[in-house]
Amino acid sequence: MTFKILVTSQKGGVGKSTLSANLVAYFSRQMQLKTTLIDWDPHGSSSNWLLHAPNVGVVVQHLSLPVDQGGNRPIFEARLQLRHATKTSDIVLCDLTWSDSLAGELMFEFDMVLVPTSVSEIELGATSGFLSRNRWVFDSAAARRPMLLVCPTRVLPEQLASNIFTKQRFPVSFMLAPPVQESQTARDLYERGFLMDSEDVCGFSFLQFAQAVCAAREMRMAQNNQAAKATTLSNNVGATSSDRFANATTPRSSVLDGVVSSAQYSILGRHRQRKLAEAEQASNTTAAASTDTSRSMSSLGIPEFIRRMSRGTSPAKN
Ligand SMILES: Nc1ncnc2c1ncn2[C@@H]1O[C@H](COP(=O)(O)OP(=O)(O)OP(=O)(O)O)[C@@H](O)[C@H]1O
Ligand SMILES: [Mg+2]
């Protein structure tokens, strides 16, 4: 099943295109996954990056989305483009600057919405506003709601020790990715190469971030597989039910609704619990090895990322 990622934010210059170009390169070359980049940015920064840098096998599409038309048009257009791309890809990643004229429903087309944000107060405020306007998407009870992954970008060494994400009151459940650090290398590599090959802090932090995205993808795929099994189960139950209720007036779907959802939720609950136990074990190991502040951004490795995700709660409780 294709994993669809939307990289978006309303703020310009936060690193959407840098993360998009480098993440698709990582998926394609390091993970050996068939990967498509759809660049919806008129400037085409991420697509240009891929087209001019050494070929890593990513299918690059610079397409337009009628963002300003509002309503359902952008969603229909996005759906068409995604359907086409998913036929041949394991991963489809879309780079988009969000606009308030877009309907939040667009995000339901994706498995993950990845929101890069720098950690200055002004940018965190903008990110918080964007997330609160769309919290109904991420807090939706729909099983197919996208995962929300917030990624601190362009983070300076002195900002690593801050615990801004625990103080900041983001009004929605989200996962926090390991931060990608600020470095001249990120600018120098534009159209020339990729962060995964850089041996400085920025390259290293990018790899941590990319691994976290892969971990989230695995969890989502496990959820999707369980949901598919639950659907098969419901279809099978449906076959016998339809015989049994052949003459009943109650619609079949309403008879089966409870069966589908309860099977699905108990399976997801078990999966989360297992991940939580693994993450707790891993973070205990990390904590033992580290003597600095346990909740600063510098300590946000993959275990922390998964723990937050497993609890499904906002970390903004401090
Ligand atoms: N980790 C980083 N370290 C240093 N500079 C960075 C980093 N990430 C991005 N930049 C720089 O920040 C600027 C904006 O990055 P980028 O174009 O990726 O952001 P964007 O969110 O896509 O912007 P836009 O909204 O204009 O499309 C670029 O000059 C880029 O080189
Ligand atoms: Mg961009």
Tell me the CATH number at 184: 3.40.50.300
Q: Which of 33-42, 133-142, 284-293, 300-309 has the highest mean pLDDT?
A: 33-42
Confidence tier at 223 by pLDDT (50, 70, 90): confident
Per the rule left: phi > 0, alpha: psi between -120 and 50, beta: everything else, 174 is: beta
One domain, residues 249 and 164: no
- Rounded CA-CA distance 188/186 in Å is 6
One domain, residues 49 and 160: yes
Mean pLDDT computed over 215-244: 75
* CA of 256 relative to ligand 2 center, distance in Å: 45
The number of domains in the chain is 2
Q: What is the DSSP letter of 71?
A: T
Q: Which atom from ligand 1 is nearest to the alpha carbon of 181?
A: 1
One domain, residues 77 and 174: yes
Average pLDDT in the chain: 80
**Single residue among 173, 188, 219 that ends a domain in this structure:** 219
For the record, the structure tokens of 197 come out as: 């090959």
How far CA 139 is from CA of 32, 132, 225, in Å, comes to 33, 10, 22
Residue with CA nearest ligand 1 atom 25: 12
- Residue 18 in any domain: the answer is yes
pLDDT value, residue 17:
98
One domain, residues 126 and 269: no
One domain, residues 206 and 231: no
- Rounded CA-CA distance 92/81 in Å is 10
Helix (H) or strand (E) holding 112: strand 112-117
Confidence tier at 23 by pLDDT (50, 70, 90): very high
One domain, residues 109 and 152: yes
- Residue 316 in any domain: the answer is no
* CA of 251 relative to ligand 1 center, distance in Å: 53
- Residue 22 in any domain: the answer is yes
One domain, residues 173 and 230: no
Q: Which atom from ligand 1 is nearest to the alpha carbon of 180?
A: 1
Q: Dump pLDDT digits (tens) for 63-87.
A: 999 998 878 999 999 999 999 999 9
- Rounded CA-CA distance 307/92 in Å is 26
Which of 141, 113, 146, 140 lies closest to 127 in space, CA to CA?
113
- Rounded CA-CA distance 219/240 in Å is 32
**Single residue among 219, 248, 268 that ends a domain in this structure:** 219
Point out the ligand nearest to the CA of residue 98: 1
- Residue 19 in any domain: the answer is yes
Query: Which residues face 5 on adjacent strands?
Result: 93, 112
Q: Dump pLDDT digits (tens) for 162-213.
A: 777 755 567 788 888 999 999 999 999 999 999 999 999 999 999 999 999 9
One domain, residues 120 and 252: no
One domain, residues 126 and 190: yes
Tally the residues of the chain: 318
Domain that holds residue 263: 221-292+307-311
- Residue 298 in any domain: the answer is no
One domain, residues 153 and 26: yes
**Single residue among 203, 219, 235 that ends a domain in this structure:** 219
- Rounded CA-CA distance 219/14 in Å is 27
Q: Which residue has the higher pLDDT, 50 or 298?
A: 50
For the record, the structure tokens of 157 come out as: 């060494």
- Residue 300 in any domain: the answer is no
Q: Which of 222-226, 232-236, 282-286 has the highest mean pLDDT?
A: 222-226
How far CA 7 is from CA of 92, 113, 114, 199, 264, in Å, comes to 11, 6, 5, 25, 28
Q: For residues 38 and 93, is the Cβ–Cβ distance under 8 A?
A: yes
Point out the ligand nearest to the CA of residue 201: 1
- Residue 163 in any domain: the answer is yes
Q: Which atom from ligand 1 is nearest to the alpha carbon of 41?
A: 27
One domain, residues 85 and 163: yes
One domain, residues 121 and 187: yes
Would you call 72 helix, strand, or coil by DSSP? coil
